Amino acid sequence: MSSPSPNPPALLEADQLGKRYRVGGAFTRAGRREVQAVDAVSFKVWPGETLGLVGESGCGKSTLARCLVRLHDSTSGTLRFEGRDITRLSGQALREIRPRLQMVFQDPYSSLNPRRRVGDLLAEPLRVHTRRSPAEVAERVRELAALVGLRPEQLERFPHEFSGGQRQRIGIARALALEPRLVVADEPVSALDVSIQAQIVNLLADLQERLGLTYVFIAHDLSVVRQVSTRTAVMVLGAIVESGPTDQLYARPAHPYTAALLAAVPVPRPSRGGAKVRPMLVGDPPDPANPPVGCRFSPRCPAATDRCREVRPPLWAIAPDHWVACHHPLD
Ligand SMILES: Nc1ncnc2c1ncn2[C@@H]1O[C@H](COP(=O)(O)OP(=O)(O)OP(=O)(O)O)[C@@H](O)[C@H]1O
Ligand code: SF4
Ligand SMILES: [Mg+2]
């Protein structure tokens, strides 16, 4: 995938990035199996934009997210950040880039130590990664709290004393503590009530504008991603099957899987001519340890042909910056 405007340079670039897990052990009857959780994923993220990443459960979103921020090592391909190859960085060199590449998790509670006060949780990355004095750390913690809409007295409380939405504010503040350039948000609102989701989405948008942040925003449903992202990429079984400018992808999905996902999103009733019939998503996704030979979506695709079942379609450009991996894309 590429962009028509290569200037300024991409902030993050994944090139054929892959992550393979070994599953099962010597004692299982099936023996060792491998799951290609992320399979040759390529994309660029431009400074200041939000790239939305969607796909159903188990398609590899979290694995990709963790590879992007180098919490996991990828097993193939290349990852560039700020123009530098960071695929195999380790030790001090990795610690140096960590502050600029941060992650917000779906369930902030599991990533927040329940025995530490919130002020302490926000201070921790500052103590580890910066040389700020205790007074400067305290000042920055107050600043972070204000940034995400927490009151100073709430810094004395423990994570369990907060609601889900407030806990996500703490998770966001922690991710922002070291002034990152890129934030990968892995389903940051999926665990929240719908009314609270909007608050967190708005907060992230506001922070992006104020701090010049770049986001990779992951969700399993398209409607949230539509609100926040400039470009959207759709994943099936570890691979990107369609990507493009969000408006274009939503108005004219080219991949049957994207169209099926969109069919689950309520659309306004057209004034005349009736709704365009879109294929529904039926059937379970294939076993990731035993993916189809051809198109990853072929077992569930209403338009599948023999060619689809035999030959895996590559990503190709059907319009400027609109890419699809399908032998028979939709009009
Ligand atoms: N540590 C691991 N060891 C082995 N397999 C793993 C591991 N983590 C993930 N997987 C497998 O990799 C695939 C992708 O999982 P991942 O959690 O990245 O998907 P996801 O899209 O984030 O799903 P969800 O929407 O449910 O969060 C799945 O088949 C999963 O079982
Ligand atoms: S390549 Fe074939 S099976 Fe795959 S999405 Fe396109 S039409 Fe469907
Ligand atoms: Mg996940």
What does the pLDDT read at residue 265? 63
Tell me, in angstroms, the distance from the centre of ligand 1 to residue 53's CA.
15
Cβ < 6 Å from ligand 1: which residues? 21, 23, 35, 37, 55, 57-63, 220, 288
Whole-angstrom distance, CA of residue 55 vs CA of residue 255: 13
Indicate the helix (H) or strand (E) that contains 203.
Answer: helix 194-211
CB 312 within 8 A of CB 36: no
Q: What is the pTM of this model?
A: 0.91
Tens of pLDDT, residue by residue over 238-286, are 999 999 999 999 999 999 999 999 887 655 444 444 334 444 677 788 8
Whole-angstrom distance, CA of residue 146 vs CA of residue 229: 25
Tens of pLDDT, residue by residue over 164-181, are 999 999 999 999 999 999
Could you give the C-alpha distances from 68 to 35, 111, 328, in angstroms and in order? 18, 18, 31
Tell me, in angstroms, the distance from the centre of ligand 3 to residue 190's CA.
10
Confidence of residue 24 (pLDDT cuts 50, 70, 90): confident
Read off the pLDDT of each residue in 80-87 and give the average, rounded to a whole number.
97
What does the pLDDT read at residue 119? 97
What does the pLDDT read at residue 280? 60
Q: Which of 17, 19, 20, 21 to mutate to test the pocket of ligand 1 (most atoms within 8 A of CB)?
A: 21
Task: Say yes or no: CB of residue 328 within 6 Å of ligand 2.
Answer: yes
Could you identify the atom of ligand 1 that is nearest to the CA of residue 63?
18
Mean pLDDT of the chain: 90
What does the pLDDT read at residue 282? 75
CATH classification of 12-324, choosing from 3.40.50.1220, 3.90.950.10, 3.40.50.300, 3.30.930.10? 3.40.50.300
Task: With a cut of 50, say whether residue 2 has pLDDT above it.
Answer: no
What does the pLDDT read at residue 264? 72
Whole-angstrom distance, CA of residue 222 vs CA of residue 235: 12
Read off the pLDDT of each residue in 188-197 and give the average, rounded to a whole number.
91
Could you give the C-alpha distances from 59 to 21, 101, 328, in angstroms and in order? 13, 23, 22
Count other Cβ atoms within 10 Å, centred on residue 282.
8
Give domain limits for the chain.
Answer: 12-324
Confidence of residue 208 (pLDDT cuts 50, 70, 90): very high
Task: Say yes or no: CB of residue 325 within 6 Å of ligand 2.
Answer: no
